Amino acid sequence: MCSTSLFVDGAARSALLLQARKGDRESLAKLILPYAPCLYLGALRLTRNPADAEDVRQDAFLKAMTRLEQFAGTPGENRDDLHAWVSRIAANASIDVIRKRRDGKLCATSCSIRRRKLPRGWGFRRWRCGSGSSERAGDSGKS
């Protein structure tokens, strides 16, 4: 599990959150930037692609910055609602990336189509994005 410990106490975190809600982006950065490694690792676990995980992390930060007024919790001593909120944003963004990839709207950078010499009679191959595997077009399951 990632460590999201901040080097400020609960009162200072509450003050930073109040300043961030007033529009101070530096205060918001002090609050959410320590979550960056956890957000990246969580997105990487879901998307299984480093480039997509980085995009998800950046998207989560942007959404947190632009939608801070939607955050209802307050970070306390023992629990960090802000971390849970930003993590949920990142998880939802990861799911969106997976859906786009599944629907063919996004092709991961690790999914590259390589030209190979095909066995005789195979014709064209359809490449599935994300899996890196291929299946024969018109394959009826015969060996």
Q: pTM of the predicted model, to two decimals?
A: 0.67
Q: Which CATH architecture has domain 10-102?
A: Orthogonal Bundle (1.10)
Q: Tell me: the pLDDT tens digits for 27-81?
A: 999 999 999 999 999 999 999 999 999 999 999 999 999 999 999 876 555 567 8
Q: Where are the domains of the chain?
A: 10-102
**Bigger pLDDT: 58 vs 131:** 58
| Residue 137 confidence (pLDDT) | 44
Q: Which two tokens stand for residue 73?
A: 């919790």
d(CA 91, CA 59): 11
| Residue 2 confidence (pLDDT) | 67
d(CA 139, CA 143): 9
Q: Tell me: the pLDDT tens digits for 90-115?
A: 999 999 999 998 888 765 554 544 44
d(CA 22, CA 139): 60
60 within 8 A of 39, measured Cβ to Cβ = yes
Find all residues with CB under 8 Å of 95, minimum gap 6, and list them: 46
Average pLDDT for residues 109-135, to the nearest whole number? Answer: 44
What is the three-state SS of the chain? CCCCCCCCCHHHHHHHHHHHHCCCHHHHHHHHHHHHHHHHHHHHHHHCCHHHHHHHHHHHHHHHHHCHHHCCCCCCCCCCHHHHHHHHHHHHHHHHHHHHHHCCCCCCCCCCCCCCCCCCCCCCEEECCCCCCEEECCCCCCC
d(CA 33, CA 53): 16
